[in-house]
Structure 1
Amino acid sequence: MAAARQSEFEGVRMAGTALTTGTVARRLGVAPTTLRSWERRYGIGPADREQGRHRRWSPTDVGRVEEMCRLTALGVPPAEAARAALHEAKAEIPRPRRGGDSGALSLGNVRQECRGLARAAVRLDAPAVETQLATTVGEYGYTTGWEEVMAPALHAIGRKWASSGERYVEVEHLLSWHVSSALRRAPGAAPKDPAAPTPAGPVLLTCVPGEQHTLPLEALVAVLGERHVPTRMFGAALPAEALYEAVRRTGPSAVVLWAHSRNTADRALVRLITETEWGMRGARTHPAVLVAGPGWSPGAGTYGPGVERLTGLRTAANRIESLFAA
């Protein structure tokens, strides 16, 4: 039965706690307007409401809407899913289009917000994805929000796409676009004291030539913005000559080179940027060069003296912040 099945709401059901519409929406990854629409159209909603108070969702109410979310994520039409959930019966699940794909995402032990975000993405519910991302950033900030909500959801959908033929490409594209939009809404960096001069040049961040995977780099830019570290983000596949000119023109404190694949990790580019100089004759300086992403070999020292390899968003931001403040 839908109301009795094991789920992340089991603790709520055991305690008999009544939840607000907003709380249920966040945990399930459904926009509050979607819940209200389902209630209006299909009768899926809280059964009781005290006079003059907002509706509260009982454990049984939550079980029904959770079952409806599960079924619609598998492709069951909303009206049919609602009938099944209201009658606490199993709907006839459409046969998978390819090789036994069940539609389930393997998320493991993750935050409720991650499950909600992934479910909303699978349903292609863009308003719910936006709401979930805004709530995540508001509650946890960009570092924890990326590491524990956005990245696990993206990885789970990517794995599903890889194992399901051409299915879920649209889900990955939708989620990636909204995550990118959320990351770019991070506050712009400024000196902590607006009257004080900037202590060092900005940090340049770019994907190496041929590299298109920008989201981890966008997350790093967002976190550095929270920490008031000025950045210049060049995005995907910046040509080597263009990066060289950007380094000479901006005099950066550090340059971060992102490579997702070993095929794009370019040692020659690392050497070029390491040797790039700027400044007055007799007082020339070089940028700190940092390589990031799974495309680079673990031993960053093999790329030249002083080259460092960044691992993990939090440690990368800490290191860059220390270089900027030095």
Structure 2
Amino acid sequence: MAVSALARRLGVAPSTLRTWDRRYGIGPSAHAHGSHRRYTPRDVARLECMQQALDEGASPAEAARYAINAIATYSSNSEQTSSPQILGDNSVNEGKTNSSHFSAAISVLEDAEPAVRNLSRALIARDIVTIHRIVSRAAAERGLPAVWEAVLVPVLDWANEGRNSDAAAVNCRAFVECMTGILSTMTLDAPIAVGGRVLLVDVPTTLDFRRPSIAHDLGFRALGAALATASVDVRTSRPVGRTALLASVTNAEPDVIMLWLPPGDCDVASLSRAIRRRRSGLALLAAGPGAAATHLPRSVKSVGNLGDAVDAVTALI
């Protein structure tokens, strides 16, 4: 990948990438005779890792050091799949996991489709380059909503098995980190939006403002990315309460609002009335883990999976 293309992907200036290369040694590694140096998939993954660390408040030097160490460890693990290692919070090996444990874990997926098995193996190896490649290729061929239901949800369920174990916790954390980066990249690389504006709202439960689950969180991100890749002008909001939620409605001025409902007690009827007082004439849809179980007023249409949600939105705008 050329420096200009990567700069657009990361949202930085090409001069910034050259500065990172000069100061921290985190630059392109491929070079063809008579042409400029180019970024390999491994280089891109390393810079995406650095960008994520910067977004979380690290200094450029700290972010570069973290990215270099993380990708080096991931690559080392991907070459040693017979004895994979678990990464700690600082991307330092904290110990080895018995290979028979992982063999047993993979055997559970014997009947799954190849993409599920391959993605699970890449997750065990912490091979983020392969994870990016598998997900991106599948999404390009089948569409993100279909890949979410057929590939990503089964892998997430598998990674979350035995959630009290250290191995499951590491698998889940690695999967969430990888998928968050992939979905963010898909959103940023989406085509120019057309039509009306959609506000995707992660609705907090009435009694507890904590986010309910990893699946809920990633599903919200996946729907946002799926709408963006369908050329929808989508804005997202993750308010901690009703006042912040209504403020986001006023600020975004949407034509359609998609409420992403968690399992639990959500007073959607009262919320929909408050939203319509803020902005009349808009369409209200509901999706997410709690959409089927929550009693919805007639003015709010429930949609099923991610594909149904995207179809419902595009039909309205």
Q: Above 0.5 in TM-score?
A: yes
Matches within 5 A, 1:114-263: 114-158=116-160, 160-162=161-163, 165-186=165-186, 187-188=189-190, 190-192=192-194, 198=195, 200=196, 202-209=197-204, 210-212=209-211, 213-235=216-238, 237-263=239-265
From 113, 116, 123, the counterpart of 2:115: 113
Flag the 1:323–1:122 CA change in 2: closer, same or farther, 3 A.
same
Equivalent position SS for 2:262? coil
Counterpart in the other structure of 1:50: none
Distance in structure 2 (CA, Å) of the matches to 1:174 and 1:226: 24
Which of residues 285, 299, 310 in structure 1 aligns to 2:303? 310
Distance 1:240 1:108, change over 3 A: farther
Q: Equivalent residue for 2:77?
A: none
CA distance in 1, matches of 2:275, 2:252: 15
Kindly provide the amino acid, as one letter, of the partner of residue 177 in structure 2.
W
Partner secondary structure for residue 275 of structure 1:
helix
Report the 3-state secondary structure (helix = DSSP H, G, I; strand = E; otherwise coil) of the residue aligned with 2:201: strand
Alignment partner, residue 288 of structure 1: 283
- Shifted more, 313-322 versus 204-213: the winner is 204-213
Paired AA for residue 309 in structure 1? S
Contact 2:246–2:278 at 8 Å: present in 1 too?
no
Q: Deviations over 1:259-317 (max 9, x none)?
A: 33214x34365334443333xxxxxx23222222222344x6x4323111121111111
- Distance across 1 between alignment mates of 2:264 and 2:107: 28
Cα distance in 2 for partners of 1:290, 1:211 equals: 22
1:35-114 equivalences in 2 (<5 Å): 69=81, 71-72=82-83, 102-104=104-106, 106-107=108-109, 109-114=111-116
Counterpart AA for 1:255:
I
Deviations 1:140-184 (A, max 9, x none): 3322322222222112212x233x534311111111111121112
Normalising by structure 2, we get a TM-score of: 0.60
TM-score in terms of structure 1 length: 0.58
Question: Where is the helix percentage greater, Structure 1 or Structure 2?
Answer: 2
Give the 3 Å change call, closer, same or farther, for CA 248–108 of structure 1 in structure 2.
farther
Report the AA paired with residue 72 of structure 1: S
Q: Tell me the distance in 1 between the aligned counterparts of 2:166 and 2:303.
A: 33
Write the distance in 2 (CA, Å) between the matches of 1:108 and 1:94: 17
**Structure 1 runs not aligned, ≥5 long:** 1-31, 34-67, 76-92, 193-197, 279-284
Deviation per residue, 1:207-248 (Å, 9 max, x gap):
11225332112111222122211100124x542112212212
Say which SS state the counterpart of residue 185 (structure 1) adopts. Answer: helix
Which is strand-richer, 1 or 2? 2
Report if the CA contact (8 A) 2:269-2:297 is conserved.
no
Q: Which residue in 2 is equivalent to 1:18?
A: none
Query: How far apart, in 2, do the equivalents of 1:143 and 1:297 lie?
Result: 18
Paired-residue identity, %: 21
Aligned partner of 1:258: which letter? W
C-alpha distance in 1 between matches for 2:110 and 2:270: 38
List alignment gaps of at least 5 residues for structure 2. Answer: 1-40, 43-79, 87-97
What is the CA RMSD across the aligned residues, in angstroms?
3.4
Q: How many residues align?
A: 223
8 Å CA contact 1:74–1:103 kept in 2: the answer is no
User: Residues 176, 191 of structure 1: CA spacing in aligned structure 2 closer, same or farther, 3 A cutoff?
Assistant: closer
Residue in structure 2 matched with residue 277 of structure 1 by the alignment:
278
